[in-house]
């Protein structure tokens, strides 16, 4: 993920208090919506915004979180490394277990809190593995001098000679 100078809020906005659902018993639901500004989900994942509805359903095992979230991420083009803002739409469906003997990242704490940050981080990293282009005709970087060929030109191509043909080049000179 590309780093930017935007001020990010803590990932505490991704923690939900579900104690009221735990005390309500199985079968109860609660609808909520996210509309958060730039969030530092984890040390390696930053999002420009998080928006979307979620439904929290109490089951006998815990809380089932379902919904769609739209995330604004700032990627970088895999050819030229320019910043590319894009929107990722992720579908969430995860059971946060209550009172399990093994502790995983998808548990409900004793205080009745669930943390969506690990789930969102995983989904963003999965969506980010395909790479993104800034535009279809991206020229990329010069392999010799590293200049971005979308913004400037270099004379490396004129001076570049295939080492296998270097002796022929000498004959031309």
Question: What's the mean per-residue pLDDT of the chain?
Answer: 86
Selected residue with higher pLDDT from 51 and 167: 51
Residue that has been written with the tokens 């991704």 in this structure: 14
Instruction: Label residue 164 by pLDDT band (50, 70, 90).
Output: confident
pLDDT in the model for residue 117: 92
pLDDT for the residue 4 = 52
- % pLDDT > 90, the chain: 42
Given a cut of 60, whether residue 3 has pLDDT beyond it is no
Q: Report domain extents, the chain.
A: 11-135, 139-173
The reported pLDDT for the residue numbered 95 is: 92
CA atoms of 24 and 26, how far apart (whole Å): 7
User: In 3-state terms, what secondary structure has residue 54?
Assistant: strand
Residue 102 or residue 113, greater confidence: 113
> CA–CA distance from 169 to each of 123, 135, 157, 158, 162 (Å)?
52, 36, 14, 12, 9
Query: Tokens 């915004």 sit at which residue?
Result: 49
Instruction: Render pLDDT for 28-41 as a digit per residue (tens, 0 to 9).
Output: 999 999 898 899 98
Task: Provide the pLDDT confidence category of residue 167 given band limits of 50, 70 and 90.
Answer: confident
pLDDT at 129 exceeding the cut of 90:
no
Q: What pTM was computed for the model? A: 0.75
Mean pLDDT of 113-125: 91
Q: Between 159 and 90, whose confidence is greater?
A: 90
* pLDDT value of residue 119: 92
- Lookup: tokens for 160: 């570049």
């Amino acid at each position: 993920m590309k780093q930017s100078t935007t001020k990010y809020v803590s990932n505490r906005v991704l923690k939900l208090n579900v104690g009221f659902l735990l005390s309500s018993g199985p079968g109860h639901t609660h609808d909520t919506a996210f509309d958060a500004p730039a969030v530092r989900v984890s040390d390696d994942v930053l999002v420009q915004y998080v928006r979307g509805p979620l439904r929290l359903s109490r089951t006998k095992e815990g809380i089932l979180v379902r919904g769609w979230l739209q995330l604004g991420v700032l990627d970088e083009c895999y050819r030229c490394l320019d910043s590319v803002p894009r929107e990722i739409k992720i579908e969430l469906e995860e059971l946060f277990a209550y009172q399990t003997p093994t502790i995983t990242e998808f548990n409900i704490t004793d205080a009745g809190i669930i943390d969506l940050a690990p789930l969102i981080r995983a989904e963003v990293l999965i969506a980010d593995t395909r790479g993104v282009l800034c535009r279809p005709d991206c020229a990329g970087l010069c392999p010799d001098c590293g200049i971005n060929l979308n913004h400037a030109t270099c004379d490396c191509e004129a001076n570049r000679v295939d080492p296998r043909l270097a002796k022929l080049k000498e004959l031309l000179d």
